[in-house]
């Protein structure tokens, strides 16, 4: 099990954002969802980013990195890349984002 398993959704989302968006400035708005990262990116509009909980934020990361997600009998999902990183979590998107961070040595 990786050190990412003990991190909050916000911390994972922030780390994913920093690996994906060069020059982004993630920040947390207390009024928003506790997992959502608000991103300020130079030359772009600010936007919300929550790949641990929002499939539209996670799906391109999963596809581009060939991350496989399998449901398990114990009510969890296993996300992995063949022959590489893997993670099991009740939230399949969170498991996939942890695999993404592990494969990028974030």
pLDDT at residue 31, as a whole number:
44
Q: Locate tokens 């596809």: which residue?
A: 63
| DSSP labels, 34-81 | TTPEEEE-TTS--EEE-TTT-HHHHHHHHHHTT-EEEE-TTS-EEEE-
pLDDT at residue 10, as a whole number:
86
Would you say 13 and 24 are in contact if contact means Cβ atoms under 8 Å apart?
A: no
Q: What's the CA gap between 28 and 23, in Å, rounded?
A: 17
Q: What's the CA gap between 81 and 96, in Å, rounded?
A: 9
Q: Kindly report the number of other CB atoms within 10 A of residue 30's CB atom.
A: 5
pLDDT at residue 26, as a whole number:
61
pLDDT at residue 70, as a whole number:
96
- 3-class DSSP state for residue 27? strand
Query: Model confidence over 12-40: pLDDT tens digits?
Result: 988 998 888 766 666 555 545 556 666 66
Going across the sheet that includes 37-40, the strands are: 25-27, 37-40, 47-49
Identify the CATH assignment for 3-103 out of 3.90.550, 3.30.2120, 3.30.70, 2.60.40: 3.30.2120
Task: Give 10-residue mean pLDDT values along the chain (106 residues).
Answer: 84 88 61 57 65 94 96 93 91 97 86
pLDDT at residue 57, as a whole number:
92
């Amino acid at each position: 099990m990786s050190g990412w398993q003990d991190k909050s959704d916000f911390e994972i989302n922030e780390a994913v954002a920093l690996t994906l968006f060069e020059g982004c400035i993630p920040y947390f708005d207390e009024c928003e969802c506790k997992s959502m990262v608000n991103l300020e990116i130079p030359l772009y509009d600010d936007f919300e980013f929550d790949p641990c909980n929002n499939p539209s934020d996670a799906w391109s990361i999963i596809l581009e990195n060939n991350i496989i997600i399998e449901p398990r009998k114990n009510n969890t999902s296993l996300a992995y890349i063949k022959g590489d990183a893997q993670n099991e979590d009740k939230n399949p998107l969170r498991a996939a984002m942890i695999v993404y961070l592990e494969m990028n040595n974030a």
